[in-house]
Structure 1
């Protein structure tokens, strides 16, 4: 990254992609704080991640405004890099009437959009200027569709355009990393068997599925000084499963 000792906040940092992102920054000598809903999982990750500094854990449900307000008091006074990784699953729209459909869509939106929006709004006054970085984890579902989940992830892309315009005059950037299937995250439920992994591999152009460290590398690049002129963009990191325009 080129700048050791920066202050980094990673939401959803207890497992999967978020943990890999936290580990990447910690190894580079940055001061990392991880956020997440599951306190014990989060604290265990903070203990296990090795770096030049102790990783701090702040348990919080980022979809709840009051909890974000509370957690803000425990977060650093100045932040160089904010990584919005917290999110939830989608799933098919439930059987039933319009009430059930509305509840499903609101739940998916609340768990995938509100954590990024609320945390970013809460920390914007603390984001370094110039040089601040906001990197949000999206999904290929935003580009190829997947019901409420795809719509929620697409909302993050639109929101990021507004955020980039807001941060630009301050010399800060905002971008989205768009993963496809990522092995070892548990996000899709039970671990994939060999047949599913083979199908996932064949759906990429490189014949491989991503690991969490691959997504962490993309995040680290967008957070680096070398990416200072990249903002308002989304970076596909899905092995060609979905091609850019």
Structure 2
């Protein structure tokens, strides 16, 4: 049986498909939009990525890795990512179905329910998988970092970091980007008046970044007047630094924090 449906976005299409898949499934795609849609779909509590393998071209996977909003969702999902060279199609296959994805202005899904055909496609897909390499996102998942913040820092820091992830459409990753995930983490610390030491420890615990990277980023933001700090005395050793908003900026609500994020984004473009 063949059925054709249309979804507004790849995320909507994959959300529907994932509700029908069996235990083991493989998604093959060349589309960054499909990968981003998958990240949104797997962020839903309805879906689990543990039994899903994704095979894609290196360039699309690197695009995903370079956006912390997408990469963090995929890292949380437990999905297995693999990079393969060559010409790939866009489809998802399990034991009994093949869903062909046609991502255009909307996403057309052609569903074929046929175990014999599915077995044949799985054999081809298994061959592609054998010739592929595991791909690492090299980042912490959103939930992992929020959990660590809740255990290491004030609840407010975790709350503001979560709010930033939900508010921003994209967060370019790595040192090459000025508005990256480390800046986001520091911004959450600023909103909660958190200590730099605690923020750096959370980043290092989850391998989001080293304490040195957090400290260096803090210095850059402070030099540009985007944050301030104050010394906090300790019983032993050097005083620690508390992260604070820039002068004449007050953050007492999530709305204030969103305004602060907008200011940061504008200043760092």
Structure 1 length normalisation: TM-score? 0.27
Return the structure number with greater relative CO, CA threshold 8 A, min gap 6.
Answer: 1
Instruction: Return the index of the structure with the highest Cα Rg.
Output: 2
Structure 2 length normalisation: TM-score? 0.25
